[in-house]
Structure 1
Amino acid sequence: MTKEKKPSSPLPKLLGKNIKERRNQLGWTQATLAELVRVDVETISRIERGAILPSILKLEQVASVLGLPLAELLRSSSTLAHDQSLEILDWMQSLSETDRQFVLGAMQRLCKHLLSLRR
């Protein structure tokens, strides 16, 4: 069994919260959603907990099954944060998986550095 790397961005938690909220609105169990998306229940559980961040393709599939536009899964209570997230998502969608991982790593290091300057 490989060790799961926990995402350090708030995005996985936001996605998970929104997916779970919509699933509950539809009256579905995790098993129902898992079957429709063709993944195991544990994967849905991890996504909803924010323990993993699925690929854009898988997120598009989840959004479609839930009857939502992909952008809706990224919504937050802050309009500015929502707009910025959508802008970043637009930039990232045109990149290869390798390039997306590089950008995410660079963003993570930059954010950590900026937070350390506040202390």
Structure 2
Amino acid sequence: MVTKQEEAVSRKIGRTIATKRRAAGFTQEQVAERLQIGNEAFSRIERGLVSPGIFKLYEMAEMFECGVETFLIEGSRRPTDQAGHLQQMLAKLSTSDRQMIVGIVETLSLRLGGKKSRGDS
């Protein structure tokens, strides 16, 4: 029997797969064909109704030109995984854009968390 937590993880992985597929410019049909599975089977993977096997994750990572860990990290609720994901995104930006994003995140964190900023001590 599949637990609610396992279902949630499958949905997150599926959403990440869908995002990466669209960013790489593939249709569901194209990916299904390359994975040698049916269109409906791939649709169920993207919807998180079934989990892809490890080998299929590796095939998709190669197809979408990303690391296989991307599918697991981007859907993770662990702060360290989320921080790693943010680090990967920030690394692609200019210094000024990174500073802007960090400022926005800090402002949101303070507002949502109700904590003082470093300069408010």
Asked whether the equivalents of residues 7 and 53 of structure 1 are also in contact (C-alpha less than 8 Å), the reply is no
Q: Percent identity?
A: 28
Structure 1 residues not aligned, in runs of 5+ = 84-119
Identify the residue that residue 56 of structure 2 maps to in structure 1: 58
Structure 2 residues not aligned, in runs of 5+ = 83-121
Alignment equivalent of 1:73, drawn from 66, 71, 74: 71
In the superposition, the TM-score normalised over structure 1's length comes to: 0.57
Q: Runs ≥4 in structure 1, deviation > 6 angstroms?
A: none
Identify the residue that residue 39 of structure 1 maps to in structure 2: 37
Alignment equivalent of 2:10, drawn from 9, 12, 19: 12
Q: How does 1:98-113 map to 2 (within 5 A)?
A: none
Give the letter for the 1:40 counterpart: G
Greater C-alpha Rg: 2
In the superposition, the TM-score normalised over structure 2's length comes to: 0.56
Asked whether the equivalents of residues 6 and 51 of structure 1 are also in contact (C-alpha less than 8 Å), the reply is no
Cα offset, 1:65, TM superposition: 1.4
Asked whether the equivalents of residues 6 and 52 of structure 1 are also in contact (C-alpha less than 8 Å), the reply is no
Residues paired across the two proteins, number: 79
Q: Which has the higher contact order (CA 8 A, sep 6+)?
A: 1
